[in-house]
Amino acid sequence: MPTKFSTALRTARATAIASKLDAGTTPAVIEFYTASQPTTGGAAITTQVLIGTCIMSANSGTVANGILTFNPIADDTAADASGIIAWARLSDGDGNFVMDIECGLTGSGAGIIVNQLSVQAGGLIKVVSGVITEGNA
């Protein structure tokens, strides 16, 4: 049976994530990569290719009932490389690792929803939405 948390604990966990994202001197960043995520969060990037980077709002998001909903995220209007977005790494504005997260299209259930997964170098990366739901999975 899955672990289930109280709403208060779920909210505290989501708030902790938002606080870590907002801890830097500048807004947090989302870096999009190809290939599989490292097995350990924050592990070194090896064969994955950085496709592009989007900048989060100065206040990364709002938390309610254990759900962190990201505020608007700036587009990357000139992607670094061509490839298929598989996942993203979120870091605070000082470059400190916060989390790795799955990316997908609308309806996929991924934490970060983008307008398209296939990106061309110099092209657009647009985050449609970002939501992290804590516990009760």
**Residue 25 binned pLDDT confidence (cut-offs 50, 70, 90):** very high
Mean per-residue pLDDT, 52-81 = 98
Does 137 score more than 90 pLDDT?
Answer: no
Burial grade of 40 (CB within 10 A; 0-12, 13-18, 19 or more): exposed
Is the distance from CB of 28 to CB of 90 less than 8 angstroms? yes
Does 86 score more than 60 pLDDT?
Answer: yes
Helix, strand or coil, per DSSP, at residue 97: strand
Does 119 score more than 70 pLDDT?
Answer: yes
**Residue 60 binned pLDDT confidence (cut-offs 50, 70, 90):** very high
Calpha distance 136→132 (Å, rounded): 12
